Every structure is written in structure tokens, then in C-alpha cells.
Amino acid sequence: MKTDVRTAMLPGSFDPPTNGHVDIITRSARLYDRLYVVIADNVSKSTLFTPDERLAMLQEILKEYSNIEVVTHSGLVVDFAREHGVGVMVRGVRALADFGYEFELAMTNKQLYSGLEVLFLPTSPKYFLLRSSAIKEMAAFGADISTMVPPLVVEKMKERIVPNT
Ligand code: ADP
């Protein structure tokens, strides 16, 4: 499929989706004609929510954005890009610590598919401490996560996690 620089993708685990994800997704959607949010269906990674559960949550949260399509994908993200004519991969960066890893990932992906540009978008300051892994830990100890994730995710986390405390 022909590569289109007006079509972007934002890949990730989104386990679970956070307000930081929603921020970076909706900001990216303003920059491109079409944005795929690509949920990694990675069998080797153990996750709290299945790919289909994460898909359902993100579809509901993002339903008002007509240029965003949420999908699941197993395999290399560059293959998704090739198959769907995606010209740009957006990655959010929070702290400098994210940057080293993201830079190496960008180099690897560029080697695999030179037609794909990678764009780093800095987090909005109010979300820079939000990480899915930390949110899962906090929820396990019964902490209030309602300022960190969309209301739908608060509900789904309550159903899934029985606090340790
Ligand atoms: P991965 O497992 O690929 O790191 P994540 O689900 O953690 O996927 O994140 C998906 C994308 O969203 C990544 O580009 C990540 O950098 C970005 N992201 C996650 N949290 C935030 C945040 N608080 N602010 C900005 N970007 C974020």
C-alpha cells in the first residue's frame, strides 16, 4: 500500500489506557488526517486486560474522534505500517529516561522499514508521571486512581483488581 504521511499510528500496550495515553492520542489526531491507535497483541507479555478488552475500552473512550481508528495487531508494528500505508509513527516521551529506549526502538524500526518516520511527542506536564505499570500497582493497594485514568477504566480496574490491603 502507498505510504501516506498524513496517516499516522500510535502503537502501545495501553494496559490499561491512562489519561496520559488519551492526551497523546488526541493531540496526535489533531496533527494527522487519520490516526491508528495500535494495541500490541503480544503473547509473550502478561497483561491485566486482554487485547480485545483494551480495544473495547479505547474505542469507547475515543468514540467522538472520527479520524481515530483503534485496532489490535500481533507482530511487528512496521508490518502494520506497511500494510496500512502509515507514514508516521508517533511515540510519546515522558522523561529523559524514556528517550534512550525510544531512540533505540526508532533506530531498529527505521532499519526494518525505512519508509516510516518516527515522531516523538513530549507528554503534557500534568501527565508526565503517569505509567500504566504504576497505576496497576497503586490499584492493587487500593489507591484512588480516578485522576489518572478515564472513568470507564476506573470501573474496569475495580472489577479486575481486588486490592491487597
Ligand atoms: P509501550 O508498552 O509500547 O511502552 P505504552 O502503553 O506504555 O506502550 O504507551 C503507548 C504510547 O503512549 C507510548 O508512545 C508511550 O510513550 C506513550 N505514553 C504513555 N504514557 C504517557 C504519558 N503519560 N504521556 C505521554 N505519552 C505517554
Cβ-count burial of 91 within 10 angstroms (0-12 exposed, 13-18 middle, 19+ buried)?
Answer: buried
Q: Give pLDDT tens digits along the chain (165 positions).
A: 788 899 999 999 999 999 999 999 999 999 999 999 999 998 777 899 999 999 999 999 999 999 999 999 999 999 999 999 999 999 999 888 888 999 999 999 999 999 999 999 999 988 888 889 999 999 989 999 999 999 999 999 999 887 665
For residue 132, the ligand 1 atom closest to its alpha carbon is: 7
Q: Which residues contact 14 (CB under 8 A, 6 or more apart)?
A: 21, 37, 39, 54, 57, 58, 132
- Residues touching ligand 1 (Cβ under 6 Å) are 12-14, 18, 20-21, 24, 91-94, 98, 123, 127, 130, 132
Which contiguous run of DSSP H or E holds residue 93? strand 86-93
pLDDT value at position 129? 82
Residue located nearest, by CA, to atom 4 of ligand 1: 12
Residue type, 70: V
What φ, ψ does residue 137 adopt, rounded to 5°? -65, -45
pLDDT value at position 86? 97
Residue located nearest, by CA, to atom 3 of ligand 1: 12
pLDDT value at position 98? 83
pLDDT value at position 117? 96
Query: 9-27 burial, b for 16+ CB within 10 Å, e for fewer?
Result: bbbbbbbbbbbbbbbbbeb
